[in-house]
A and B are shown apart, each in its own frame.
Chain A
Amino acid sequence: MEWIIRLSGISAIIFVLAIFVFVFREAAPVLSNKEFSLVEFFTSIAWYPTSEENVRYGTLALIAGTFSVTALAMALAVPFGLGAAIYVSEFCGPKTRETLKIVIELLAAVPSVVWGFIGLTVMSRLLVNYGNAPVGVNMLNGGIILALMAVPIIVSIGEDALKAVPDSFREAGIALGASRWQLVYRVLLPAARNGLLAAVLLGIGRAVGETMAVLMATGHAVQIPHGILDPIRTLTANVAAELGEAPAGSAHYRVLFMTGVLLFTITFVVNLTADFVIRGVKRK
């Protein structure tokens, strides 16, 4: 029995390695394909994977799409998420706190395809009618949806970070006559800095990796966005949209797996950084 338990414990490592190995294994043969070059993969905005005579696999526009929609989502989600975390942890009573935490948990449970559906039907109509957007599915739409999806993570991790600040800090502040706001601004935010940073990083990880919602809400244009009302396409949405049409084993199929390797690497680095930031706090 004990060795089964040990094996299960190690299984997480095995699965993470397996994910990388299998995705990379499907992607690797394209590296020796002469129509594909890694430099072009990262620096070209030309993405014509199905073109007959001029096949181009440049993902720069997709990378730009991913990062711009993530940045927009974070611009919305970080202030709201941290503000809500501060309210939940410092300003409200225990009853309100429980209620809010339940709401946050339910908000986090909404499936991404339902968020996408909301973006496609509700949000796009609102943007066309009240935001003067030429098309409803665009970067702003995706950004708002992603923000709503990332906020619960930011709130719950951020609240943990604030809770981890010892009460003696608060008592010292109050003893000096600080108001609650002064306490938050001068004592808690600096003390919980690392935990809050980790909360933001995990929110970014979630936003970068999100697939269905951005697939349905951001429109489908492979381009570098010039304004927040431009439709864009992200790395994740691109894989989801094209994998079904790419014949197994073709160069197009392998390039999509290469995009998967890139995504895996990005989220790996973001999550690892978040973990180091959190553990930096604990060591203190």
Chain B
Amino acid sequence: MLANEYAPDDMRFTQTPFGRRRELTERIAKSIFFLMAVAMIIPLVAIVGYLVLRAWPSLSLEFVLDVPRKGMTQGGIWPAFVGTVYLVVISLAVSAPIGVMAAVYLNEYAKDNWLNRTINLAVINLAGVPSIVHALFGLGAFVYAARFGYSILSASLTLAIMTLPVIIASTREALASVPMSFREACWNVGATRWQTIRAIVLPNSISGILTGVILQVSRAAGETAPIMFTGAVFFKAIERGNLFAYSLNEQCMALSMHLYTLTTQVPNVEDSIPYATAVVLLGSVLVVNATAIAFRVWLRARKKW
């Protein structure tokens, strides 16, 4: 301001029409991009809000613990809830060790040759295979070829293979974030590759690996198509509140499948029950994911290197 007043006329900083237009485009572009970004928050909030609102009459702990009654038109979702827990735990027990070791191989051992490039491509493709193709694979491989039948085992194995890329990707990221100098220090005192991995790399990346495992849980819990034809069933009578209701070679109910069944196959369901099922499913998945995110933020904050 001051400088302008004392400066001679032809040296004043004035806005040209060109500059004004430029500023206008800038502002328009920024607000359009902003609106596009906000357009993603709105559906998430609206969906969660609307579902909770419609589900409200049924939502209670009792709803989760109770068994479905009167041809699934009333009651709760306990068999489906336990079924999902079974599927998630067993698939996790299979895919976590394989996934972590595969990531260790890719990050610590693999050199840049054709085999490892093929492995990388395979991981990318495994992540991209449609869920219904995983279902067909599970049906052909586990249900028929391996003779596991329609069972929790078949469904969990299918889920395990489907969620493997999630664990591989996040474990690799965790391993890659351990500085190379840590490894070099360990090699220099004469440790082998495997000793280094066990003593230095894994302990320093364990929390990142756990985050990946948590994400796998949320992914496995939400999947429907892969379990629909390998082990999940419309209805299965089990005791209310019983946590050890299923065995490995049985079929089970699952939350995601239950939601599908309730909305498309069962007539005259009490209005709020499908919404409440959706809220329990969505809620569990989002809580698990939020835990993983919070864990990661906390980790990054206390990272020492």
Among A121, A184, A260, A275, max chain B CB count under 10 A is at A260
Q: Mark A73-99, 1 if CB is under 8 A from B, else 0.
A: 000000110011011100110000000
In the complex, whether A243 has a CB less than 8 A from a CB of chain B is yes
The interface stretch among B1-9, B65-73, B115-123, B235-243 is B115-123
A179 partner, pick from B23, B99, B229, B282, beta carbons under 8 A? B23
| A188 close to B (CB within 8 Å) | no
Contact of A23 (CB < 8 Å), options: B29, B41, B43, B137: B137
Q: A107-B40, A114-B278, A151-B40 are in contact. Are A272 and B129 (CB under 8 A)?
A: no
Residues in chain A near residue B164, CB distance under 8 A? 11-12, 15
A283 → chain B closest CB, angstroms: 12
Q: Is the CB of B256 within 8 A of A113?
A: yes
- Digit string of A3-16 for contact with B (CB within 8 Å is 1, else 0)? 01110111111011
The CA of A5 and the CA of B140, in the complex, are separated in Å by 27
Q: Which of B103-111, B181-189, B245-253 contacts A (4 or more CB under 8 A)?
A: B103-111
CB of A15 within 8 A of CB of B122, answer yes
Please, what's the 1-or-0 string for B49-87, where 1 marks a CB less than 8 Å from any CB in chain A? 011000000000000000000000000000000000000
A264 part of interface (Cβ distance < 8 Å): yes
- B100 CB to closest chain A CB (Å) equals 8
Given A87-B33, A239-B136, A6–B105 Cβ distance below 8 Å?
yes
With contacts defined as CB atoms under 8 Å apart, how many contacts are there between chain A and chain B in the complex?
Answer: 260
With both chains docked as a complex, state the minimum distance between the C-beta of B24 and any C-beta of chain A, in angstroms: 10
Does A197 have its Cβ within 8 Å of any Cβ on chain B? no
| Cβ-defined partner of A86 (8 Å) among B33, B168, B259, B282 | B33
Q: How many of chain A's residues have a CB under 8 angstroms from any CB in B?
A: 83
Contact A209 B133 (CB under 8 A): yes
Residue of A nearest to B29 (CB): A181
From A11, A13, A116, A179, give the contact of B22 (CB < 8 A): A179
Q: In the complex, which residues 83-130 of chain A have their Cβ closer than 8 Å to any Cβ of chain B? A: 83-84, 86-88, 91-92, 100, 102-107, 109-114, 116-118, 120-122
* Interchain CB contact (< 8 A) of A88 among B29, B37, B115: B37
Cα of A210 to Cα of B105 in the assembled complex, Å? 31
Residues of A within 8 A of B274 (CB): 117, 121
Within 8 A of B (CB), among A22-43: 22-23, 25-26
Q: What is the bound-complex CA distance between A5 and B219, given in angstroms?
A: 24
The answer, yes or no, to whether B147 is at the interface (CB within 8 Å) is no
The CA-CA distance from A239 to B136 in the complex, in Å, is 9
Assess the A268–B131 pair: CB atoms within 8 A. no
* Structural contact, B26 and A116, CB atoms closer than 8 A: no
With beta carbons under 8 angstroms apart, the residue of A11, A22, A100, A109 that contacts B222 is A109
Cα-based distance from A205 to B131 in the complex (angstroms): 12
CB distance from A170 to the nearest CB of B (A): 15
Q: Is there contact, CB below 8 Å, between A270 and B128?
A: yes
| Cα–Cα, bound, A165→B183 (Å) | 30
- Cβ of A140 within 8 Å of any chain B Cβ, yes or no, is no
Is A50 in the interface zone, CB < 8 Å from B? no
Q: Does B289 contact A (CB under 8 A)?
A: yes
- Contact check, A180 vs B40: say whether CB atoms are below 8 A apart: no
A248 at the interface (CB under 8 A from B): yes
Contacting residues, chain A, for B263 (C-beta < 8 A): 116-117, 120-121, 216
Are B281 and A113 in touch, CB under 8 angstroms?
yes
Task: Note all chain B residues with C-beta closer than 8 A to A22.
Answer: 136-137, 140-141, 145
- Nearest CB of chain B from residue A88's CB, rounded to whole Å: 6
- How far apart are the CA atoms of A102 and B37 in the complex, in Å? 12
Chain B proximity of A33: nearest CB distance (Å): 18
The 8 closest A-B pairs by CB, nearest first: A111-B222, A209-B130, A9-B105, A83-B36, A8-B101, A87-B33, A181-B29, A271-B128
Sample of 4 further A-B pairs with CB below 8 A, known A15-B126, A80-B40: A19-B129, A26-B140, A87-B37, A210-B131
A sample of 9 cross-chain residue pairs with beta-carbon separation below 8 angstroms, ordered by A number, consists of A23-B133, A91-B30, A92-B34, A106-B293, A111-B223, A113-B257, A114-B222, A114-B278, A209-B129
Binding site for A on B (CB under 8 A): 22-23, 25-26, 29-30, 32-34, 36-37, 39-41, 43-44, 47, 50-51, 97-99, 101-102, 104-106, 109-110, 115-116, 118-119, 121-137, 139-141, 144-145, 161, 164-165, 168, 193-194, 218-219, 221-225, 228-229, 256-257, 259-260, 263-264, 274-275, 278, 281-282, 285-286, 289-290, 293
